[in-house]
Amino acid sequence: YLVFQLCGLIGDWAGVACLEAINLKRPYSVYIDRVEYEVISRTLHSLPLKRRIKEHLTLPWMKRYQRYLIRQSEVGLFKGQDCYPEYSPFCKQPHCVYNVHTKKSDWINESSLNSKIESLLNGEPLQVCYVGRAAEMKGPLDWLQTVHRVYKAGVDVKATWLGDGALLLKMKSLAQELGIADRVNLVGFVSEQSKVLQTMRENHIFLFCHKTPESPRCLVESIVSGCPIVGYGSSYSQELVSQYGGGVFAPMNDWQKLADLVIELNSDRAKLSELIRAAALSGRCFDEETVYQHRSDLIKKYLNSNI
């Protein structure tokens, strides 16, 4: 079976493989986990001048190129509701899939869930976290501004960011400038998934400021860990908790509104406790075995008949 993950234009070997499969008249499937041309478009301002010029010139070609390869495929596997609506109109057999590396054994257990809620209702400091790169598309500076506004409103908040990246030093500088360095723990890179999941299990809110349609896996890991997702809304994030709840969302780039949502949740901790339980329930929909079995079944179904 031929399955290729498209991600760009120049130097994208998956795209080259698709072209070769077309020449050989072999059926193939495409998998896409983010809307690459939209990601680049939204982060152009942060790139060096030469890179901005290059991306500006190639973006229209990337869109046409990817759509052509999608049209020639037998089945499209598009990650989440940020990717699926964007690419599905150009595919014979489009399907929404997910990419997770958590198992059923990683689901937060009832004891840990109760302990988290008990700490919240007993008036302990509000604990918020994020896991991901300190990069423009993740909105790390918006994240700090959100934490600062929450703190200035009188909330006893402790914030943790796991992840390294180009903006980590700038984050540290901004935290000092805002006077919240003692409230924010910028941990840096953490390699052990167990530590990442444990951090999510211990925190009351997973605070995120994603600025691009990338269908990030960390949101799934968060609800699996019983940590409600509170951040900039997107089709992907909203769909993850559409059945059972476990998320609250602000408009894109509106960190002031996002901070206000966190302040409201802190003032109504009974409501936040319900959100934590709802997140854990939504997380039961996602485990590695189930999502990859679904993907495997689709590949076999649509490529078998064309081999």
Share of the chain above pLDDT 70, in %: 99
Share of the chain above pLDDT 90, in %: 86
What's residue 224's pLDDT?
A: 97
Query: CA-CA distance, 208 to 219, in Å (whole number)?
Result: 9
What's residue 306's pLDDT?
A: 60
Average pLDDT, whole number, for the chain?
95
Query: CA-CA distance, 101 to 210, in Å (whole number)?
Result: 20
More confident residue, 214 or 62: 62
Query: CA-CA distance, 226 to 117, in Å (whole number)?
Result: 10
CA angle 102, 210, 212 (to 5 degrees): 105
What's residue 246's pLDDT?
A: 98
Q: How many CA atoms lie within 13 Å of 108's alpha carbon, on the beta-carbon side?
A: 34
CB 41 within 8 A of CB 59: yes
Q: Set out the domains of the chain in order of their start, with CATH numbers.
A: 3-100+288-304 (no CATH), 105-283 (3.40.50.2000)
How does pLDDT run across 83-120, given as a tens digit for each residue? Answer: 999 999 999 999 999 989 999 999 999 999 999 999 99
* 110-115, long-range: CB < 8 A, 24+ apart: 112/201, 112/226, 113/226, 113/276, 113/277, 113/280
* Statement: residue 168 has pLDDT above 80: yes
Query: CA-CA distance, 89 to 188, in Å (whole number)?
Result: 40
Angstrom CA distances, 49 to 46, 53, 54, 75, 212, stand at 9, 6, 9, 38, 21
Q: Which of the four pLDDT bands, split at 50, 70 and 90, describes residue 43?
A: confident
Q: What is the DSSP string of 167-193?
A: THHHHHHHHHHHT-TTTEEEEE----H
- φ, ψ of residue 75 in degrees (nearest 5): -150, 140
| 137: exposed, middle or buried (Cβ count in 10 Å: 0-12, 13-18, 19+) | buried
How does pLDDT run across 177-228, given as a tens digit for each residue? Answer: 999 999 999 999 999 999 999 999 999 999 999 999 888 999 999 999 999 9
How does pLDDT run across 81-90, given as a tens digit for each residue? Answer: 999 999 999 9
pTM of the entire structure? 0.89
